Amino acid sequence: MILIQVTARAPGKVILFGEHAVVHGKPAIAVAVDRLAHVTLTGRTDSIIRAEISRLGVDGYLNLENETINTQGYQIEVGLLKYVLKALKAVDHRTEPGTGLDVTVDIEMPVASGLGSSAAVTVATLAAASKYHQLNLKPKAISSLAHLVELEVQGAASPIDTTLSTYGGVIYLSPDVQEIVRLPIDWDLPLVIGHTRRQGNTGELVESVRLKKESYPSVINPIFESIQEVTEEARNALLEKDENKLGELMNINHGLLDALGVNTPALSRMVYLARQKGALGSKITGAGGGGSIIAYCPEKMDEVISELQKEEQAFPVKLRHEGVTCNVIE
């Protein structure tokens, strides 16, 4: 029996414009970033599937038949193994029952922080397993299977994260058909991410915005309309590499997210510290309520990072043009 080893890598993402409004039929723009999830599958001679996320101290056994995970660790980190299990199950074409695997996961981004760690892990697992079982699934199949895995594990999910983890690049989610358009952005789009340890709960935040809209439709609907206009303008600013306009639109989008009630004192402090240190623009990214901010500060990356690091975690990212990649060692 030849035991092969397959490693796949898939990028995380940030939402640049349009979060929350996208849930109400408005457009959004999101970008794949150069923080990756690495998933390695190594064949075993027994029937055990053992999974490990060593950086998070998670280690356990997966049972594909009854879909159980036997493990130790913190709940959120262990939760990532659910994506691994569902993804392995989705492409489990074992001819000999009894073929085990060692699965090692390494993640270069904080989890549950709006950076798409679960989608990156799911896409990398699917790509690695597809290669391992010699199915060689095309990106389109990986992307849609990954979206199904996210739906199964989370109950609800937009296809933004899984699309970016699969294809890389920048996407525009159009409002009418919720169709995904890839934007031809050929520059690096350097960003600083500021990340607070407090995690926002996306489902609860989406629900709180929906309730606000129900209570004050004449106030909240125009905010969604404004976010739509910001996103449309930002699409042109990105295509034309108009950096000042991009920054200003980020600031406006942040104000509108604040008005929707998803800001927190820690996020707000990071947003304004970044601007004080020379960011052209800064805003919450993703659901808010905790999680992360992004700052666009191409000339001031170091200054902004060291200022944010005084209170929270901060690191640089840039656009990752490449999507999921795979290599095999026999």
Find all residues with CB under 8 Å of 241, minimum gap 6, and list them. 187
Token pair 């356990």 in the structure block, residue: 60
As given in the structure block, the two tokens for residue 211 are 């309730």
Identify which of 199, 71, 91 has the alpha carbon closest to the alpha carbon of residue 148. Answer: 91
Contact between residue 119 and residue 68 where contact means Cβ atoms under 8 Å apart: no
Chain residues 281-300 in contact with ligand PMV, contact rule CB under 6 A:
286-287, 291
Is residue 158 near ligand PMV by the rule CB under 6 A? yes
Taking the complex as a whole, how short is the minimal distance between the CB of residue 38 and ligand PMV, in angstroms?
20
Closest to ligand PMV by CB, 40 vs 158, is 158
Is residue 37 near ligand PMV by the rule CB under 6 A? no
Find all residues with CB under 8 Å of 310, minimum gap 6, and list them. none
Q: Count of residues binding ligand PMV (CB under 6 A)?
A: 12
Q: Distance between alpha carbon 169 and the CA centroid of its chain, in Å? A: 13
Is residue 107 near ligand PMV by the rule CB under 6 A? no
Is residue 114 near ligand PMV by the rule CB under 6 A? yes
Is residue 29 near ligand PMV by the rule CB under 6 A? no
Taking the complex as a whole, how short is the minimal distance between the CB of residue 139 and ligand PMV, in angstroms?
21
Identify which of 191, 207, 155 has the alpha carbon closest to the alpha carbon of residue 270. Answer: 191
Select the residue interacting with ligand PMV from 8, 10, 22, 36 (CB under 6 A). Answer: 22
Is residue 232 near ligand PMV by the rule CB under 6 A? no
Taking the complex as a whole, how short is the minimal distance between the CB of residue 158 and ligand PMV, in angstroms?
4
Active-site residue list? 161
As given in the structure block, the two tokens for residue 314 are 């901060």
Contact region for ligand PMV (CB under 6 A) — 14-22, 69-77, 185-193, 263-271? 14-22
Closest to ligand PMV by CB, 60 vs 159, is 159
Please compute, for residue 180, the number of CA atoms within 13 A of its CA located in the half-sphere on the CB side: 18
Closest to ligand PMV by CB, 6 vs 164, is 164
Closest to ligand PMV by CB, 267 vs 324, is 267
Is residue 26 near ligand PMV by the rule CB under 6 A? no
Chain residues 195-224 in contact with ligand PMV, contact rule CB under 6 A:
202, 206
Taking the complex as a whole, how short is the minimal distance between the CB of residue 99 and ligand PMV, in angstroms?
35
Q: How far is CA 236 from CA 29, 95, 225, 265, 291, in A?
A: 11, 51, 17, 31, 27
Identify which of 272, 280, 264 has the alpha carbon closest to the alpha carbon of residue 308. Answer: 272
Taking the complex as a whole, how short is the minimal distance between the CB of residue 228 and ligand PMV, in angstroms?
13
Q: DSSP assignment of 70-123, as one string?
A: EEES-HHHHHHHHHHHHHHHHT---SSTT--EEEEEEESS-SSSSS-HHHHHHH
Whole-angstrom distance, CA of residue 318 vs CA of residue 259: 28
Closest to ligand PMV by CB, 127 vs 287, is 287
Closest to ligand PMV by CB, 78 vs 262, is 262
Which residues bind to ligand PMV, rule: CB under 6 A?
A: 15, 19-20, 22-23, 114, 158, 202, 206, 286-287, 291
